[in-house]
Amino acid sequence: MKNFTRIFLFFIIFYSTITSSSIGCTTAIVSGKFTVDGRPLLFKHRDTGTLQNKLMFFNDGKYKYIGLVNSTDSLGKEIWAGCNDAGFAIMNSASYNLNTNDTTAIKDREGFVMKMALQSCVTVDDFEQLLNNLPKPLGVEANFGVIDANGGAAYFETGNFAYSKIDANDPKIAPFGYVIRSNYSFTGDTENGYGFIRYQTADDLFYQAAQTNSLSHKFILQKVSRCLKHSLTKIDFTENLPKNSDKSYYVNFRDFIPRNSSASTVVVQGVKKGESPEFATMWTILGFQLCSVTIPTWVSGGNNLPKILVADETGNAPLCDMALQLKEECIPLKRGSGKYYLNLAALMNQTGDGILQKTFPLENKILSLAESYLKHWREKGLNKKQVKEFYKIVDDMVLLEYQKRFGL
């Protein structure tokens, strides 16, 4: 722990001028007691000014781990969501109501803290101990969400000098087994914060799923992270779709869960108590979620991650790059407030040739294939050779489909 404290102090000294990369997110954790398969879930829909994201595999700590990283961060100094080979996973959402009236100059250390957690933590309690041991001020203002292989699932609403733990396994706190956070903390200043409308949208979706026993990774990836409903205005873009993509059809696109600043999504599907941590699955959507597809990865599969998820010679991940190219068709306006308007016809229409309508069948094929591999591994044990085989199949499948359907 002393080594990690030294690393933290080093980061404070040399990186105190870096601005935050996490301007807003919609997140949730779900207790395994309430999910379809009994495995806990950790969800981060990332909004940021750094739209090029990638995955990296690390072996620089006590535990190996996979992390979501900004493409500009070639060394992987900051992690924005990730999972390690002990089955511990972490993510965050920026909070804007915990350090009210705090004049501390040190800030934006969230990515460094999450990296240290993945390097060193096995349980939720380990992460709490890490927060206790790190020097103060922490330089953070965030809702850290964590799950572990023992069934632990909790948020830590964390400011510079203190934190509050919110346990998703406590029925008094989470009667339906889930906790959601956007860009404010429940223990913070009630007059400040952001993401209230997104929070309510997510809460509506999770509540309905909880009542119908459908809380799953697929539900979060497809129904939450790609949700086109607005909890305040009651607009649902999936209703009354434009006839086709021939003519642009612009709609106001503010305060939805997916939005112009959306860059990636991670859902970590943990393991049941007694199940090997090697089966913890990190489902990732790189790039603008409405134009991308979900790809699973496993830390225990080693460092040969899918090529479409890691940086190529350009420094960017191919899948993220392709999704951002397609985003140009959905949000083509640049001047003034143009970025807040979505060309719905390019995304979805009655003809069925919208971008999202073309990518969903591909994603469903990937999800189905992954489930078949997981079923086999859970019975026989995870096979690294088969993981590599799966990654190759998915790489080829995605590149072929994006070329065939979009000419990319």
pLDDT digits (tens, 9 = 90+) for 33-60: 999 999 999 999 999 999 999 999 999 9
Is residue 155 classed as helix, strand or coil in its secondary structure? strand
Residues 6+ apart with CB under 8 A from 241: 344, 348, 349, 350
CA-nearest of 189, 194, 11, 191 to 99 is: 189
Q: What percent of the chain has pLDDT over 90?
A: 93
Q: Rounded mean pLDDT of 181-208?
A: 96
Domain count, the chain: 1
Question: Tell me, what CATH number does 135's domain have?
Answer: 3.60.60.10
Q: Distance of CA 400 to CAs 10, 65, 262, 389, 405, Å?
A: 45, 29, 25, 17, 8
pLDDT digits (tens, 9 = 90+) for 375-384: 999 999 999 9
Give me the torsion for CA of 193, 168, 30, 235, rounded to 10°. Answer: -40
Check residue 305 and give its pLDDT. Answer: 98
pLDDT digits (tens, 9 = 90+) for 247-272: 999 999 999 999 999 999 999 999 99
Please give the Cα distance from 374 to 156 (Å, whole number).
Answer: 31
Does the pLDDT of residue 103 top 50, yes or no? yes
Please give the Cα distance from 131 to 147 (Å, whole number).
Answer: 15
Centre a 10 Å sphere on the Cβ of residue 2 and count the other Cβ atoms it contains: 7
**61 strand-pairing partners:** none
Does the pLDDT of residue 108 top 50, yes or no? yes
First vs last C-alpha separation in the chain: 47
Check residue 24 and give its pLDDT. Answer: 83
Check residue 273 and give its pLDDT. Answer: 86
Check residue 23 and give its pLDDT. Answer: 63
pLDDT digits (tens, 9 = 90+) for 267-321: 999 999 889 999 999 999 999 999 999 999 999 999 999 999 999 999 999 999 9
Domain hosting residue 371, numbered range = 2-406
Q: Rounded mean pLDDT of 147-161?
A: 98
pLDDT digits (tens, 9 = 90+) for 122-142: 999 999 999 999 999 999 999
Does the pLDDT of residue 19 top 60, yes or no? no
Name the residue with tokens 């979060």.
220
Could you tell me the maximum CA-CA distance found in the chain, to the nearest angstrom? 62
Residues 6+ apart with CB under 8 A from 111: 21, 22, 77, 78, 79, 80
CA-nearest of 154, 85, 150, 151 to 120 is: 85
**42 strand-pairing partners:** 29, 268
User: What length does the chain have?
Assistant: 408
Q: Rounded mean pLDDT of 198-222?
A: 98
Does the pLDDT of residue 104 top 80, yes or no? yes
CA-nearest of 50, 51, 62, 21 to 325 is: 51
Please give the Cα distance from 267 to 81 (Å, whole number).
Answer: 9
Please give the Cα distance from 219 to 271 (Å, whole number).
Answer: 17
Amino acid (1-letter code) at residue 295: I
**Cβ–Cβ under 8 Å, residues 118 and 24:** no
**94 strand-pairing partners:** 142
Centre a 10 Å sphere on the Cβ of residue 273 and count the other Cβ atoms it contains: 12
pLDDT digits (tens, 9 = 90+) for 73-99: 999 999 999 999 999 999 999 999 999
pLDDT digits (tens, 9 = 90+) for 324-375: 999 999 999 999 999 999 999 999 999 999 999 999 999 999 999 999 999 9
Question: pTM of the full predicted structure?
Answer: 0.94
Torsion sign (Cα): 219, 223, 226, 232: negative
CA-nearest of 296, 302, 268, 273 to 374 is: 296
